[in-house]
Amino acid sequence: MLNRAIVEGTALTVLALSVLCLWLRERQKARPESDGGYTTREEIGFEIGRLQSELSRWLTTTDHRDIGLLYIAFGTAAGLWGGVDAMMLRTELLTPPADIWTPETYNALFTTHGLTMLIFFVLPVFFGIGNYVLPLLIGADDMAFPRVNAIGFWLLPPALILVRMGLMLQVLGQVLNLVLPADAIRFFLTMREVSVGWTLYAPLSVQQPNPQIDLLLLGLHLSGIATTVGAINFITTIAYERGEGVSWANLDIFSWNMLVTSGIALFAFPLLGSALVMLLLDRNLGTAFFATEGGGAILWQHLFWFWGHPEVYILFLPATGLMSLILPKFVGRKLFGYQYIVYSTLGLGVLSFGVWAHHMFTTSADPRVKLSFMAVSIAIAVPSAIKVFNWITTMWEGDIRLTAPFILCAGGIGTFIIGGVTGVFLAVIPVDILYHGTYYVVGHFHLIVVGIIPFLMIAASYYWYPLITGRWYDTRMARFQALLIVFGSFVTFMTLLVIGGLGLPRRQAIYPPEYQFAQQIATVGGYVIGLSALLWLYNMLVSYWRGTPVTTTDPWGLKATNQFTREWQWFEQRMMDKYDMEPTEPETTRRSYAPEAEPAGLAGGVGTVAQTVSRNAWMAAAGGFVGTVLMSGGLITAILIGVLDPVSFGEIAELVGLPASPAIGAGLFLVGGTVTWPLLFLAFSDYLPGRLLFETGLVFATLISSGFAIAFYTGQSGLAFVGYLTFVLVSHWAYGIGLTVTFQYLKSDEVLQSRSDGGG
């Protein structure tokens, strides 16, 4: 059995030392002495002086870009620490018995791994990216409260130390024990990393004697304050510091996401703070919040998850913001459905507070209450799916550039689809009761928290590397790294989904031998992820000194697709000022696929769906009506020759609670068709102008008819079945033709009108 404290301490030290050596070596190489001579005493003195001034600069800076980098560096370091925990967890699982670490160590590992990753890795890195680019994106000079910003950051290192003190004190204890008797250093020897699970469920978290739990609670509390402070700063900055010409309607999508994220954090974290204080009081002052005679253990779960579920969206939304921002740059098309993405973000922000009890389906809450949580949890899939569809549509017919950021974006969409769909399954109570305690849940959330979240962080680090450092990273190594991490994540977490589906319980160091092979596959996948993380780190550090310097003001060629956004304009200005560079102009400018978005109305386009609909309502209604009439023609024929039953129209009426009369059904059908279908077309109207409307109509009609045929399949076979399919298809085509011809007619009319108005 290995000693965890020593192994992890050594691993971290080696990691830190290699980073330092690498840094110093590359730095040395970057500036050879020009005369080939030796370094003189004065030069060393100068270097030390410089080091001192650098140090005091970084410790006292209030500049948003510096603080951003501090956040990113801190988050990365915490991520590596949590990553070492993960590698150790997976190592234990190479063999069925607990023979590498003790079961208690295993418990400590998954506890600290979860907390470190969720609180000290993801959030700080996103706050860092936000700090660096958000003011540039919105044309602000700095964050609204620069000093508060610095405080927000500097609360984090002590918080992390408090939370993870157990390991350090243990290492210290073991070192001291070499010279001092055990009695004198009892405190150090009794400290352990917390091992009650990252959800800190009562009563275990109340009753375990380990004093490190108290330090952890204090540290978490401190980190909550840091997060709240940061969130207030983001909200104020976005609300009040936007530059000229940046309205809510054309606020970039990343800032929208940071705004909503900060809004969630503002409501969620104070609640976590109170819950933590209650737990501390229970542990130390004999209160009974979570004791059976008080609120009971379930109270802790309610409080925890009322923070915990919003928290997962706090982690997830900035990643989607980066996706929406970066993906279009590498497919040469504008983000499809900007407004819908904004709405879905806002919707997720609100809904994320309404689903917490889906983490408590296996507790004894009233089934009727649980049912409502099931409904909302399924509903939350809708805004998530809107994002996915919009990303896919953005890629549609784009000029894809196979760069590392693109590979990570595409991989992120893939992992999110699987992670999200498995989440919808878990939202269904009976399924959750089956899978709650298994690796299936681990697979579900890791496809998101490892899939899309770090993928997009890394994509962002590549995308903005030239902007931040003025140099290029090693692009070949980056592409390889991107592929490696996508591959490793799929191997690891798909395997976990499968063994969870087979019923293997999670959070146990010991497991039945028949799962060994699968566990080994997952572990190898995990090592691949770890390796790719190190490759990324190497690339970032070494390229800082050795990367090819950027020689154009438009490193990504964004001007060619009209996507030269504000932060790059800032970069261009800086390159011109610093190096007298000429602005780079592209040879040809490809009009970005979607037309220049018109500034939408109030509050960031809130109301623009309504506006669009009302502007186009009559056109849509006319199209829908003609289409539905044509479609009815096809269906009536089908009824006449007996492929369809008139009763099916009656069922439509029954569905909305009216008498089962075919006539009423047909009426509803007409009204429904006039409204629903055109809405669908309108939703895709950003996309429609790019293709012949007519063709597109047929494609949509075909797609929808297949969905319709499957959904309403009524058990025919043989010829009747073929007839059924044919008529569904033909009637939908008829519908599509009617709709598109009408749209086209009305559109050309509109164009004529706007020309005569002098517009274009």
Ranges of beta strands (E only) in 615-712 are: none
- Choose the one of ligand HEM, Cu ion, none that binds residue 423, judging by a C-beta under 5 to 8 angstroms depending on kind: ligand HEM
Say which entry of Cu ion, ligand HEM, none residue 90 contacts (CB below 5 to 8 A, set by partner kind): none
Residue from 6, 176, 12 nearest 84 by CA: 12
Q: CA 555 → CA 129, 130, 438, distances in Å?
A: 19, 21, 47
Question: Is 585 in contact with 562 (CB distance < 8 Å)?
Answer: no
* Out of 64, 283, 333, 358, the residue judged to bind ligand HEM by CB under 6 A: 358
Nearer to Cu ion, 458 or 497 (CB): 497
* Contact status: 356 vs ligand HEM (CB under 6 A): no
Q: Closest distance between ligand HEM and the C-beta of residue 365, in Å? A: 14
Which does residue 77 touch among ligand HEM, Cu ion, none (CB within 5 to 8 A, set by kind)? none
The binding track of 426-455 with respect to ligand HEM, each residue x by CB under 6 A or -, is xx----x--xx----x--xx--xx------
Instruction: Report how far residue 391's alpha carbon sits from residue 380's, in angstroms, rounded to the nearest whole number.
Output: 18
| Least separation in angstroms between CB 111 and ligand HEM | 11
User: Minimum distance between the CB of residue 445 and ligand HEM, rounded to whole angstroms?
Assistant: 3
In the list ligand HEM, Cu ion, none, the entry touching 730 (Cβ below 5 to 8 angstroms by class) is none
- Tell me how far apart the alpha carbons of residues 549 and 642 are, in angstroms, rounded to a whole number: 73
Residues 328 and 394: beta-carbon distance below 8 Å: yes
621: buried, middle or exposed (CB in 10 Å: 19+, 13-18, 0-12)?
Answer: middle
C-alpha span between 179 and 157 (Å, rounded) = 30
In the 3-class helix/strand/coil scheme, how is 87-100 assigned residue by residue? HHHHHHCCCCCCCC
For ligand HEM, which is the closer residue by CB, 242 or 506? 506
- Amino acid of residue 124: P
Nearest to 70 by CA among 449, 250, 78: 78
Grouping H, G, I as helix, E, B as strand and the rest as coil, residue 111 is helix
Of the pair 309, 732, the CB lying nearest Cu ion is at 309
Q: Which residues ranging from 399 to 438 are in contact with Cu ion (CB under 5 A)?
A: none
How far apart CA 474 and CA 480 sit, in angstroms, is 10
Burial call 215-249: b when 16+ CB within 10 Å, e when fewer: bbbbbbbbbbbbbbbbbbbbbebbeebbeeebebb
Contact, 144 vs 233, CB < 8 A? yes
- Determine the straight-line distance between the first and last CA of the chain, rounded to whole angstroms: 76
Which span sits near ligand HEM by CB under 6 A: 17-25, 423-431, 542-550, 614-622? 423-431
Footprint of ligand HEM on 204-233 (CB under 6 A): none
- 479 near Cu ion (CB under 5 A): no
Q: Give whichever of 28 and 363 is closer to ligand HEM, judged by the CB atom.
A: 363
Q: 493 in the Ramachandran plot: left (φ > 0), alpha (ψ -120 to 50) or beta?
A: alpha
By a kind-dependent CB cut-off of 5 to 8 A, residue 94 interacts, out of ligand HEM, Cu ion, none, with none
Residue 727 DSSP SS3: helix
Contact flag: residue 111 with ligand HEM (CB under 6 A): no
Rule CB under 6 A: is residue 64 a binding residue for ligand HEM? no
Contact 101, 88 (CB under 8 A): yes
CA 596 to chain centre: 27
407 binds, among Cu ion, ligand HEM, none (CB under 5 to 8 A by kind): none
> Which residue reads 């988050």 in tokens?
75
Candidates 105, 301, 377, 705; binder of ligand HEM (CB under 6 A) is: 377
Residue 277 or 431: which CB sits closer to ligand HEM? 431
Among positions 423, 443, 605, 678, the unique one binding ligand HEM when judged by CB under 6 A? 423
Pair of tokens at residue 297: 């253990």
Contact 218, 190 (CB under 8 A): no
In the complex, the smallest distance separating the C-beta of residue 446 from ligand HEM, rounded to whole angstroms, is 8
Minimum distance of ligand HEM from residue 376's CB (angstroms): 9
Report the residue number, 95 or 199, with the smaller CB distance to ligand HEM: 199
Question: Which is closer to ligand HEM, CB of 460 or CB of 622?
Answer: 460
Closest distance to ligand HEM from the beta carbon of 705 (Å): 28
- Residue number with CB closer to ligand HEM (316 or 681): 316
Residue 353 binds ligand HEM, judged by CB under 6 A: no
Size of interface with ligand HEM, in residues (CB under 6 A):
24
User: Min. distance of Cβ 214 from Cu ion in angstroms?
Assistant: 27
Tell me: does residue 283 bind Cu ion (CB under 5 A).
no
Distance in angstroms (rounded) separating the CA atoms of residues 382 and 750: 33
x-or-dash string of contact with ligand HEM, 145-164, rule CB under 6 A: --------------------
- Report, in Å, the least distance between residue 394 CB and Cu ion: 27
Residue 410, token pair as written in the block: 């595409």
DSSP per position, 47-99: HHHHHHHHHHHHHH---HHHHHHHHHHHHHHHHHHHHHHHHHHHHHTTSSSS-
Least Å distance, CB 603 to Cu ion, is: 28
Number of residues that bind Cu ion (CB under 5 A): 1
Between residues 319 and 537, which has the closer beta carbon with respect to ligand HEM?
319
Q: 345 to each of 384, 422, 567, how far by Cα in Å? A: 8, 20, 23
Residue numbers 170-199 binding ligand HEM by CB under 6 A: 199
Residue of this chain nearest to Cu ion (CB atom): 309
Rg, the chain, Cα only:
29
Based on the shown chain and the rule CB under 6 A, indicate whether residue 389 belongs to the binding site for ligand HEM.
no
| Stretch binding Cu ion (CB under 5 A), from 309-317, 342-350, 473-481, 709-717 | 309-317
Pick one of 309, 333, 387, 506: the residue that binds Cu ion (CB under 5 A).
Answer: 309
Residue type, 187: F
Cα torsion through 164, 168, 171, 177, rounded to 10: -120
CB of 381 to ligand HEM, least distance (A): 4
Binding to Cu ion by residue 113, rule CB under 5 A?
no
- Considering the complex, state which of residue 436 and residue 574 has its C-beta at the smaller distance from ligand HEM: 436
CB–CB of 31/547 below 8 Å?
Answer: no
Find residue 505's DSSP bridge partners: 438
Region of 17-25, 50-58, 133-141, 301-309 interacting with Cu ion (CB under 5 A):
301-309
Among 156, 196, 264, 315, binds ligand HEM (CB under 6 A): 315
Check binding of 381 to ligand HEM (CB under 6 A).
Answer: yes
Q: How near is the Cβ of 444 to ligand HEM at its closest, in Å?
A: 6
Cβ at position 153, least distance to ligand HEM in Å: 24
Q: Which residue number, 318 or 555, has a Cβ lying nearer to Cu ion? A: 318
Considering the complex, state which of residue 223 and residue 674 has its C-beta at the smaller distance from ligand HEM: 223
Name, in order, each residue with C-beta under 8 angstroms of 350's C-beta and a sequence gap of 6 or more: none
**Distance between CA 101 and CA 109 in Å, rounded?**
10
Which residues, in sequence order, are bridge partners of residue 438?
A: 505
Please give the Cα distance from 316 to 124 (Å, whole number): 13
| Residue among 563, 536, 618, 238 nearest 398 (CA) | 563
Interface segment toward ligand HEM; rule CB under 6 A; list 149-157, 310-318, 565-573, 694-702 = 310-318
- What tokens does 398 get? 């784009």
Residue 570 interface partner, choices Cu ion, ligand HEM, none, CB cut-off 5-8 Å depending on type: none
Q: To the nearest whole angstrom, how small is the minimum distance from the Cβ of residue 436 to Cu ion? A: 12
Find out whether 449 and 514 touch, Cβ atoms under 8 Å.
no
Residue ranges in contact with ligand HEM by CB under 6 A: 199, 312-313, 315-316, 358-359, 377, 380-381, 384, 420, 423-424, 426-427, 432, 435-436, 441, 444-445, 448-449
Residue ranges in contact with Cu ion by CB under 5 A: 309
